[in-house]
Every structure is written in structure tokens, then in C-alpha cells.
């Protein structure tokens, strides 16, 4: 944990609005942390606070135990990579990469070895003499990354570096970033609004909403145990189905089937809960095989299909049930679903998520 970075109760206020609200988290040495959340939730502001491009209003930032809250950006030895990777058009790739070193008057003798190393790492050897105008989008992004890593920073800060790339390049650059991270193991904070990107890249994901940290954890933890209704709806594609249902004495009726809430004082006094079930955890009778007569741990629902989208490997079926409209996935094995088809849906009690109707926290 030598160079771990810690935010302690950090807030950032802009003209009365709180962009980041009393946020605490730690970035472990070598960790790839992804900040995710809807537009305006404070992701970029948090990154800019880390970079020193914005002043914190309250709280502090520590690096390896020492307070860096008031350090200038250049004193932090962090490298930021933006979505519009601003290269100098009149300079060659090599001059772009060495720009920072030249500004700092570092001895020329050191340039060569370091440029060769990053050029090798990012496969830029052939391109060192070219100007940015003669590069593809993916190549430009690699040059921007080379420029960021050549100074061997303690932390990479990446603000949606894939967002200006087309789908194929996105995958290519994403794989490049991951390979690079495996080789360098430099701590990284990566901002995206794309939760799929977050799921595939992150060691841990921090979900933000309205400047508040909602949950931080491994992708699988957030997927399997969302802390609250917001995280439940935000993490996972297609999104979790969520129904608001009345409950009494710790029991919620799901289409006449009793589901017991966890036995806590809070749950016993609730009159409403949110019940969540992911589309991939619902089966229909086209593929459902009853489990040896033990249906007590499954919910069964009659449903009518309203429409069906072919996603490729699966159909995303939209169905009307007594709980309301829901969506579920059916594997595409040539058994094309039909609109208005009547089906029986089923899901396991183990796969449901229950949230308090009062504070929206996971029960």
C-alpha cells in the first residue's frame, strides 16, 4: 500500500451546487479503479480534484500517508489522459512524447531509452517520425498514452479515453490499456459513464450519483449484491427489473406467493418494498425444466409476450405479468418467441434482490 491514494471526506462545491459530496475512498497501489455514474454525477470533477486541476472545498487527499491536497498539479506526478487527447499537430510523434521531458529540461541522453521503451510497449516504433494528422484515431490515442506514461507517473487519471473512438477501435484501445496496466501496474482511476466498460476493466468500481458515492467494490460484488436501488438499476445490461410491491409483517406477496423479507426490525415495519430480478435470471417454459418438484424456492408467473428483440445469442423478451411489464433473456436456439404468446415465467428466490421502500437500501 506504499503509494495508495486516499480521499477523506472530500467535497467540491460550485456556486451552491455540490458536484462531489463528502466522499471517501482509497485507491490501492496498482489498482485499476473505475468511476462510473450518470451524466453530471461528479466523475470528472473527482478526477480533476485528484489531478489538482480543481481545489477541494472540504476534506483532504493523501498519497502514501502525506497530505497532497494543496499541491500543484505538476508536483503530484500524476498523468491525465483526456478524451480529446490533445496532441501538438506540428510535432512528430516522438516530439509529442518527449515534450514534457524537454519542458522540464531533462537530459537528452535519457530521452532515447525512455522513448524506445514506451514506443515498444505501445507499438509506436514505426510511427515516431510521423505527425498526428497522418495517424488513425487509435494510433493517436496510443501516442497520448505514450506521452502520459513516459514520465513514469504514480497515478494515471483517464477521463473517458474511449469515447471518441468507433466500436472496433474502442475494443482495440481498451485491450491496449488493459495490457499496459498488466505490465506497468500503475494505479489508475478511469472515468466512464458506460457500466459495461466499467465491468470489463475494473479491479473495483465506484458508483457515483449526485456527487455521492453509492457503492465501491469488485464488479461481481456490485452485480450480485447491489447496496441500494440505484446501483441495482445502474449495474447490469439489460437493466434489472424492479417492482414496487406492498408488504406486511415482513412478507411480500408476489403473485399470491409469499416471500419473506430478512427478519429485521426495519423490514417488519415496512409497508412497501422494491423487488428486483435480473433479465438473465428469469426463465420461460420454452427452456425451463422444473427442479425435481421443489418449486417452493421458485416464483412462477403467467405472462404474455408483448414483443421480442433479437440481440444475437439471446432474445430480449418483453412480457406483461401481474407484477407489471418485465424483460427477460431467452437463448436463441431457433425457438423464436412470438408476440402474444402465453408463457410461464420462473425465477429462483435466490436471485431476487429486495430493497426497503423507505430508504431504498438492500434488505
- Chain positions contacting ligand ATP, by CB under 6 A: 14-15, 17, 19, 37, 39-45, 193
Strands annotated E in the chain: 5-14, 17-27, 32-36, 58-63, 66-67, 78-81, 155-159, 187-192, 204-209, 212-217, 241-248, 251-254, 257-260, 272-277, 283-284, 298-310, 314-321, 324-331, 342-348, 353-356
Using the minimum distance from each CB to ligand ATP, give the nearer residue, 20 or 299.
Answer: 20
Least separation in angstroms between residue 39's CB and ligand ATP is 3
How does DSSP assign 315-330, residue by residue? EEEEEEETTEEEEEEE
CA angle 205, 16, 189 (to 5 degrees): 20
CB nearer ligand ATP, residue 7 or residue 354:
7
C-alpha dist (Å) from residue 308 to 200, 279, 327, 332, 339: 27, 13, 9, 11, 7
Nearer to ligand ATP among residue 44 and residue 63 (C-beta): 44
Min dist. Cβ of residue 9 to ligand ATP (A) = 18
Of 41 and 121, nearer to ligand ATP (C-beta) is: 41
Residue 246 CB burial class (10 angstroms; 0-12, 13-18, ≥19)? exposed
The distance of closest approach from Cβ of residue 165 to ligand ATP in the complex, given in angstroms and rounded to an integer, is 17
Residue at grid coordinates 426463465: 283
- Tell me the residue ranges of DSSP E strands in 144-225: 155-159, 187-192, 204-209, 212-217
Concatenating the DSSP letter of every residue in 287-300 gives T----TT--TTEEE
Which of residues 14 and 88 has its CB atom nearest to ligand ATP in the complex? 14
CB of 4 to ligand ATP, least distance (A): 23
Write out the three cell numbers for 220: 461481481
Pull the grid cell for residue 66. 502525506
User: Cβ 47 to ligand ATP, closest distance in Å?
Assistant: 8
| 208 versus 277: smaller Cβ distance to ligand ATP | 208
**Shortest distance, CB of residue 45 to ligand ATP, whole angstroms?**
3
**Residue 15 vs 263, nearer CB to ligand ATP:** 15
**Integer Cα distance of 327 and 329 in angstroms:** 7
Amino acid at each position: 500500500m506504499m503509494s495508495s491514494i486516499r480521499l477523506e471526506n472530500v467535497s467540491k462545491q460550485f456556486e451552491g451546487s455540490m458536484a462531489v459530496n463528502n466522499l471517501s475512498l482509497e485507491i490501492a497501489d496498482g489498482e485499476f479503479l473505475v468511476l462510473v455514474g450518470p451524466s453530471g454525477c461528479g466523475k470528472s470533477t473527482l478526477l480533476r480534484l485528484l489531478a489538482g486541476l480543481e481545489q477541494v472545498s472540504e476534506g483532504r487527499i493523501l498519497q502514501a500517508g502525506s497530505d497532497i491536497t494543496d499541491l500543484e498539479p505538476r508536483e503530484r506526478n500524476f498523468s491525465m489522459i483526456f478524451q480529446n487527447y490533445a496532441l501538438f499537430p506540428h510535432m512528430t510523434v516522438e516530439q509529442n512524447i518527449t515534450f514534457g521531458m524537454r519542458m522540464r529540461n531533462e537530459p537528452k541522453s535519457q530521452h532515447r531509452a525512455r522513448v524506445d521503451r514506451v514506443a515498444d510497449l505501445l507499438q509506436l516504433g514505426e510511427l515516431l517520425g510521423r505527425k498526428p494528422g497522418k495517424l488513425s484515431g487509435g494510433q493517436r490515442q496510443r501516442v497520448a498514452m505514450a506521452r502520459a506514461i513516459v514520465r513514469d507517473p504514480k497515478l494515471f487519471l483517464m477521463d473517458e479515453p474511449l469515447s471518441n473512438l468507433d466500436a472496433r477501435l474502442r475494443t482495440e484501445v481498451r485491450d491496449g490499456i488493459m495490457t499496459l496496466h498488466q505490465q506497468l501496474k500503475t494505479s489508475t482511476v478511469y472515468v466512464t459513464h458506460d457500466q459495461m466498460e466499467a465491468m470489463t476493466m475494473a479491479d473495483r468500481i465506484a458508483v457515483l450519483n449526485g456527487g455521492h458515492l453509492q457503492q465501491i467494490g469488485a464488479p461481481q460484488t456490485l452485480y450480485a449484491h447491489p447496496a441500494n436501488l440505484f446501483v441495482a438499476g445502474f449495474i447490469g445490461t439489460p437493466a434489472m427489473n424492479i417492482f414496487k410491491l406492498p408488504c406486511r409483517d415482513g412478507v411480500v406477496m408476489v403473485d399470491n406467493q409469499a416471500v419473506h423479507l430478512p427478519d429485521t426490525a426495519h423490514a417488519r415495519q415496512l409497508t412497501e418494498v422494491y423487488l428486483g430480478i435480473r433479465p438473465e435470471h428469469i426463465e420461460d417454459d420454452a427452456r425451463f425444466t422444473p427442479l425435481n418438484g421443489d418449486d417452493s424456492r421458485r416464483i412462477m408467473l403467467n405472462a404474455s409476450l408483448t414483443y421480442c428483440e433479437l440481440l444475437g445469442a439471446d432474445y430480449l423478451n418483453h412480457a406483461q405479468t401481474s407484477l407489471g411489464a418485465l424483460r427477460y433473456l431467452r437463448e436463441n436456439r431457433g425457438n423464436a418467441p412470438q408476440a402474444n404468446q402465453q408463457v410461464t415465467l420462473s425465477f429462483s428466490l435466490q436471485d431476487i434482490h429486495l430493497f426497503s421502500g423507505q430508504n431504498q437500501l438492500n434488505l
